[in-house]
Amino acid sequence: MRLVLVGTSHHHAPVELRERVAFDADTAREVAGRLGEAVVLSTCNRTEIYVATDDPDAAEAQAVAVLAAAEPALYRLRDRAAALHLFRVAAGLDSLVPGEGEILGQVRTAAESGTPGLLLDRLFRQALHAGRKVRAQTAIGESPASVSSAAAALAAQVFGELDGCRILMIGAGEVGEQAAKSLHARGAEILLTANSKTDRGELAAQLANADVVVSSTDAPGYVLDAGTVERNRRGRQLLLIDLAVPRDLDPAIHGLDDCFLYDIDDLQAIVSETLAGRRSEAERAETIVAAEAEKFHEWHASLDVVPAIASLRARAEQIREAELKKAEGVLGRLGESERSAVESLTAQIVNKLLHLPTVRMKQAAAAADGVLYAEAVRHLFGLGEDER
């Protein structure tokens, strides 16, 4: 079984390209179901499709077709590289804000909404374990640890102290809630927490009183356009932060006098200021992630030799039982304890004979030539010949 990853992220595509392939929860679930054993991870910074398959070329072509709107910026990874990528994503090492904590929950939700089988279930469980381990053993998640807290930091840069600063929040989801908490902690006043279905007239009325607008809905179109902002802000300076993908706020707003619009990509400047202090922690996190990814690789590689190992052990046990049966005339005269001792002794001989070959086959699998070892074992011991 092979692992295929096709996706795009903020490293490869600007927000205007990423929003073309941003999926809501229902769409992500539908896409995963259509692709077979698959998981779709879609956040504001990335859309990635993970597929477990026996035909990697066909699976990759299907995933590329789903993400065709972002084709100029798609990356394609397989097996070991794909697994390591997910482990880095879960640990926050591939995020816009290194170490941000929201991605761990997003990875878990994606796995729960997908259609994982044995391979993807193990992959995502170990990726989540790696992410939790990084957060527990390093300080990479120190502030600002998410796009939400970075948005609050941006507002503080523009206005200085946020005491008395009035915020219009649009979006009642997790990102919006975290942004509201970060802003409130800095002294800001939340005027209104709305969503994409809130009456447009109510939103427009609150613009006249707001200093900052933070929007993070899953609406398919713009929640606020340039005309609405221009008519209702009454000449006030206005900072607008768009955390949504697809974008909530009309890019034309940026052209209005005294209106300052930032989208999720613009937060990179704030992130860059935090990178120096996180560099050593990121190196520690990379070491943890690499070790955890290697454990998954060894397990994945062992799948190629497990059937051969199982067949070899089954053949050895079959021979042991057959020989004991031949000796039944002699063994039948033994007492129960003596008979049990013979059974135990022969089982131990088989286990000890097969222990080292089993270990060596698993080691060979991790070194990429396990299939050759498995085939050699099948040939030497005639495994499968009875079926043929």
The string of DSSP letters for 237-264 reads: -EEEEE--SS-SB-GGGGGSTTEEEEEG
Domain ranges of the chain: 2-142+278-292, 161-269, 306-381
Q: What is the rounded distance in angstroms from the CA atom of residue 204 to the CA atom of residue 224? A: 9
Closest CA to 213 of 252, 174, 166: 166
Beta strands in the chain (DSSP E): 2-9, 38-42, 46-53, 75-78, 166-170, 189-194, 212-215, 238-242, 259-263
Q: What is the rounded distance in angstroms from the CA atom of residue 101 to the CA atom of residue 107? A: 11
pLDDT of residue 388: 45
pLDDT of residue 131: 92
Tell me, what DSSP letter sits at residue 97?
S
What separation in angstroms does the CA of 129 have from each of 85, 121, 175, 340? 14, 12, 23, 43
Closest CA to 213 of 227, 185, 196, 192: 192
β-bridge pairing 2-9 and 238-242: unpaired
Residue 323 structure tokens: 């020989």
pLDDT of residue 32: 95
Tell me, what DSSP letter sits at residue 69?
G
* 149 touches 330 (CB < 8 A): no
Catalytic annotation present for 44:
yes
Q: What is the rounded distance in angstroms from the CA atom of residue 382 to the CA atom of residue 379? A: 5
Q: Cis ω on the peptide bond leading into residue 98 (within 30° of 0)?
A: no
Number of Cβ within a 10 Å radius of residue 234: 9
pLDDT of residue 142: 61
CATH for 2-142+278-292? 3.30.460.30
pLDDT tens digits, the chain, 388 residues: what are they? 899 999 999 999 998 899 999 999 999 999 999 999 999 999 988 999 999 999 999 999 999 999 999 988 999 999 999 999 999 999 988 887 777 778 888 999 999 999 999 999 999 999 999 999 998 888 776 655 567 777 787 787 777 778 888 888 888 677 777 788 888 888 888 887 777 677 777 888 888 888 889 898 888 889 889 999 998 887 778 889 898 888 989 999 989 988 889 888 887 666 666 666 667 788 888 999 999 998 998 888 777 667 777 777 888 888 888 888 888 888 888 888 888 898 889 999 988 988 887 777 777 666 656 567 777 777 777 776 654 4
Sheet of strand 166-170: strand arrangement: 189-194, 166-170, 212-215, 238-242, 259-263
pLDDT of residue 203: 81
**Catalytic one of 44, 119, 188, 293:** 44
Sheet of strand 38-42: strand arrangement: 38-42, 46-53, 2-9, 75-78
Domains 2-142+278-292 and 161-269 share a fold: no
CATH for 161-269? 3.40.50.720
* 46 touches 9 (CB < 8 A): yes
Q: What is the rounded distance in angstroms from the CA atom of residue 211 to the CA atom of residue 202? A: 16
